[in-house]
Structure 1
């Protein structure tokens, strides 16, 4: 069944994070070659990822929609776009400009005082202003010498918080010891976006190919298809260990096949 714009009911996008350390244009090229339905752009230090005009040009050239923007709220992108609220607002503005319906963001870090306390109300206001979903991603506990360190405020788990829209990441769930299948079923309409990957509860953010870890990825995708979910599944796997472009392409093609099989495409 096709959705709006000729896309499948649940489109499968390629996250630009999946081609790291290659550039954004490589993500578009690979997505087109492999038959993905669109792209999720992670905003990084790469200038193209920050420029809506260049992103729109890539989208037009490769005939692939930009389905989500990942705000630069990682530790590695703390210097991108300055203050915390500026990151969220510029991401929302860029999403609206390039036609992406979703902005993915991480929960606030505990040292981001002011921003953290006002986060639920602030993202709701910005989402309304720009007409996009701002979907807060599930993270995981940080451990220092075997003990949990409080890295996020109020918490790494967005489910109990008053966020209207949530992004679910299977690798992060694995670290946290959570069952993605059960959590996705519980989230219902709060679930806006999915990062398809896998992991094991060994404390490392592995971003394995689905099926290589211990998460119930297949069951979760099957549930989304059966429940007529209207979000996007974005492939966010690590290909940094790939030996050349051929192996990276094979891994991303395999993940696309997995997604489409279990979504019933």
Structure 2
């Protein structure tokens, strides 16, 4: 089976979750990943389910609200957020929850994060795919470690993981090497790109230096059956047509290098 090629609702910001489903359906994406964020609609399971049914667009993953700007979405208790994300995933038919490692200041949450994620997977039947992050840095100088137990999930005993290519570019991580280290624990991809700057750029894949094409070919050669989700930044698009073109180019890139036939 070929991997599903999905669209993250974050890819259309500042347009809404509803717009993301419309773009995904019109362009021929296979699925959608819902970023639970400040868009109130993204926080409502019933609304998300209605969008999926209306557009006949499956939901492959839920991204838990663990970004800095979503710290108060669904309350402030981090384990409660993950439980609620799993509940949404189960109700809408998604089999993955994407989660970031804790920030350093979330010491109680971080203390038993690895074992806690394993316990959640066992109790919910949902894969919690922990995403690679990066050291924070203001320039090309050495960065600050802002995540516990660490930003590289290949160094921890997670059963399921996510590789984000923009994050890898900031960290100076080779994504194919990381994929090799993760092996069968690699469940989910955030397909994007980065130039290696200190910014989390989320470029259209192929416009940066993160070896996006090489990773997709690596996945194809190993019959990867997880999700490949486009998570790009289109905030600077001048209009809807430019955003649409970036989303279309991203899908074509994924299909080309995964050798997936266009329907």
Post-superposition offset of 1:162: 1.3
Query: In structure 2, what is the Cα distance between the partners aligned to 1:140 and 1:162?
Result: 18
Shift of 1:81: 1.2
1:1-265 paired onto structure 2 within 5 Å: 3=1, 9-82=2-75, 83-143=77-137, 146-265=141-260
- 2:38 counterpart SS class: coil
Q: Distance in 1 between matches of 2:113 and 2:178?
A: 23
CA deviations 1:186-238 (Å, max 9, x no partner) are 21111010000000111111001111110111111011111111100000010
Equivalent residue pairs, number: 258
Alpha-carbon deviations, 1:55-84, whole Å to 9, x = none?
111100000000000000011100111211
Q: Distance in 2 between matches of 1:181 and 1:113?
A: 31
SS at match of 1:204: coil
Distance 2:38 2:137 in 1: 27
Q: CA RMSD in A?
A: 1.1
- Mark the runs of 5 or more structure 2 residues left unpaired by the alignment: none
Task: Give the CA deviation at 1:147.
Answer: 4.7
Query: Aligned in 2, Cα 1:147/1:263: closer, same or farther, shift over 3 Å?
Result: closer
Deviation at 1:36, TM superposition (A): 0.3
SS in 2 for 1:234: strand
Q: Runs of 5+ in structure 1 lacking a partner?
A: 4-8
Q: Is the Cα–Cα contact under 8 Å of residues 138 and 198 in structure 2 kept in the other structure?
A: no
CA deviation after TM superposition for structure 1 residue 150, in Å:
2.6
SS of 1:58 mapped into structure 2: helix
In structure 2, how many angstroms separate the alpha carbons of the residues matched to 1:148 and 1:238?
A: 23
Deviation of 1:35 (Å): 0.5
Paired with 1:234 and 1:147, the residues of 2 have a C-alpha distance of 30
What TM-score does the superposition give when structure 2 sets the normalisation length?
A: 0.95
Contact 2:154 2:181 in 1 (8 A): no
